[in-house]
């Protein structure tokens, strides 16, 4: 199945935990693993805290510090090389166990899309495997 997320900023983190939980609740499978895969090279998926919005800002700022914009060969084509590099450092997929249709995330863990070259529509493929 597929989930489409519309981003609104050049760089942002979007919590999709509730959307993934809603999909999981509608499935017949009670226990297993869920794989979440983003079909893009300038966006990523992460698990991190979303209770304090400063975490999201700090993450984006630290990525920009590590991989600054405007100094890469690919920038001559479409000026988004830093987004490609940042995305490669992060994840394109996540696999999370679930029991009784509930994600087994830690207390502060959230599933987030990391937009690095928006705004865009981002396609996420979801695969659920019974255990």
Question: Domains in the chain, start-ordered, CATH in brackets?
Answer: 2-130 (2.60.120.460)
pLDDT at position 93: 98
Q: What are the tens digits of pLDDT across the range 11-30? A: 999 999 999 999 999 999 99
Residue whose C-alpha is closest to residue 121's, from 23, 25, 36, 43: 43
pLDDT at position 75: 66
Is residue 6 scored above 90 in pLDDT? Answer: yes
Q: Which token pair is 69?
A: 């914009």
Beta-bridged to residue 91, according to DSSP, are 45
Is residue 44 scored above 90 in pLDDT? Answer: yes
Residue whose C-alpha is closest to residue 13's, from 48, 62, 64, 65: 48
Residue whose C-alpha is closest to residue 7's, from 87, 90, 114: 114
Is residue 108 scored above 70 in pLDDT? Answer: yes
Beta-bridged to residue 34, according to DSSP, are 96, 128
Q: What are the tens digits of pLDDT across the range 61-105? A: 999 999 988 887 786 788 889 999 999 999 999 999 999 999 999
More confident residue, 125 or 76: 125
Cα-based distances in Å from 50 to 3, 13, 56? 20, 9, 7
């Amino acid at each position: 199945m597929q989930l489409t997320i519309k981003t609104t900023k050049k760089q942002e983190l979007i919590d999709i935990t509730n959307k993934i939980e809603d999909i999981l609740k509608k499935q017949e499978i009670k226990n297993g693993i869920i794989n979440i895969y983003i079909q893009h090279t300038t966006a990523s998926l992460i698990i991190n805290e979303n209770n304090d919005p400063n975490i999201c800002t700090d993450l984006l700022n630290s990525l920009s510090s590590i991989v600054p914009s405007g100094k890469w060969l690919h920038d001559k084509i479409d000026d988004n090389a830093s987004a490609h590099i940042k995305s490669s450092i992060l994840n394109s997929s996540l696999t999370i166990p679930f029991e009784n249709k509930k994600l087994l995330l830690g207390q502060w863990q959230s599933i987030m899309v990391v937009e690095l070259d928006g705004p865009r529509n981002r396609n996420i493929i979801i695969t659920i495997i019974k255990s």
